[in-house]
Amino acid sequence: MCGFDKEKGPGWLMKKGLILILVGHINFILGAIVHGSVLRHISKPNNEITTEFTAANIISVTSALLSIASGIIAILVSRNVPVRKLHIGLVVSSLLNALLSAACCVGLLIAISVTVSGDGAGLMKGCKNASEVPINARTPIFVECPFDTTRIYDTTMALWFPMLFLAALEVALSVWCFVIGLTLGGIGPCARIYRLQYGDEAEAFTPSRRPEGTTAQA
């Protein structure tokens, strides 16, 4: 985690940034599909907001956008390693993205757990039950719905599980970028290890503690 080779490190950082951008785009598309195919029908049925589904999807889409921004910043840092302002930007964006992606993982886990435990009953809100049989999204019979319920349970699960995996990947990549940002900024134990490994050469990457031309006071 602390390793940042002065020759290969920028290349690694660029690859991580590209992966973050790719993962962010895929997660954003999956979130948009979930909203367009499922949540827009059940987000507010009869003035009953399905909080766990809506919140999880909003957080997922937001974290995807932030992952794209973090990936872009990581690429900029890899091409301009000595620039301190970019180090700060990488630290802030990757930290926020790690926290938001972790919240996304929790939200998706809650949504999946609620859906599986209730056999998708939450996905059928807004439907009229013509029988005494409880509504079941896996076998939606004897119900009148304003939307197509065909394979709604399988479709939702098939989209949520990849989103959960991608959100976890965003957390891992963001934590790595956060540590690298601290290392290049000269903060934390990894920065000390980096300076011990490369000595004076590391000064080209980390900011100096004292402005040039000043002397220590006696």
Residue 4 lies in a domain: no
Model pLDDT for residues 66-110, shown as the tens digit of each residue:
999 999 999 998 888 778 888 889 999 999 999 999 998 998 898
Q: For residue 53, what pLDDT is reported?
A: 74
Q: For residue 133, what pLDDT is reported?
A: 55
* Token pair 């840092």: residue: 77
Q: Which domain holds residue 37?
A: 9-204
What CA–CA distances, in Å, run from 191 to 3, 13, 15, 96?
A: 10, 16, 21, 21
Residue 148 lies in a domain: yes
Alpha helix (H) ranges present in 6-132? 9-34, 40-42, 51-79, 84-117
Residue 217 lies in a domain: no
Q: For residue 82, what pLDDT is reported?
A: 79
Contacts of 50 (CB under 8 A, 6+ apart): 39, 42, 43, 122, 125
Residue 3 lies in a domain: no
Residue 216 lies in a domain: no
What region, left, alpha or beta, does residue 47 occupy, with left being phi > 0 and alpha being psi -120 to 50 degrees?
left
Q: For residue 4, what pLDDT is reported?
A: 61
Q: For residue 36, what pLDDT is reported?
A: 74
Q: For residue 22, what pLDDT is reported?
A: 95
How many separate domains does the chain show?
A: 1
Residue 214 lies in a domain: no
CA pair distance 157, 160, nearest whole angstrom? 5
Q: Which two tokens stand for residue 215?
A: 């002397």
Residue 91 lies in a domain: yes
Residue 143 lies in a domain: yes
Q: Which residue numbers in the chain have pLDDT < 50?
A: 200-202, 204-205, 208-218
pTM of the full predicted structure?
0.75
